[in-house]
Amino acid sequence: MTSARTSARCQGPSQSRYHGESMDLSVVIDRGEVWYDVPLDENGNLIPHPRKRFPTLTVFAHWRSQRIPLVRWRTTIGSWCGETQSDGEVYLKCKNSDVGPCVWKEIVASPV
């Protein structure tokens, strides 16, 4: 009897009309605010680079001439990073993510 009540409570909402076995999806990455300046002052001290708009990744479903956002979350697009060289010294290097069109060959999704 407990399992019948539990399964009835755990049912989610019905699937959206655009949901199907095969869906036309796209992703847009908004780079947000980007700082390209070296994050050091004249004495070599780190300078904070505050941001109000962070990079976000949004997945869209395309259905009947509509672009429906399915999920949006913060992501990274690269930044200034410390990198240890062969001489043992740590240097700052700006490591940006690639830009432009790309293809994800496999997407694994499950109900949440």
What is the mean predicted confidence (pLDDT) over 35-43? 83
What are phi and psi for residue 2, nearest 5 degrees?
-65, -40
CB crowding 83-96: b at 16 or more within 10 Å, else e:
eeeeeeeeeeeeee
* 61-91 pLDDT tens trace: 998 999 999 999 988 887 777 888 899 888 8
Q: Which pTM value belongs to this model?
A: 0.61
Lookup: tokens for 55: 């990079």
Q: Residue 63: which of 22, 101, 106 has the closest Cα? A: 22
Lookup: tokens for 101: 């069109």
The answer for residues whose C-beta is within 8 angstroms of residue 30's C-beta and 6 or more apart is: 53, 55, 56, 57, 58
Could you tell me the pLDDT band of residue 9, with boundaries at 50, 70 and 90?
low
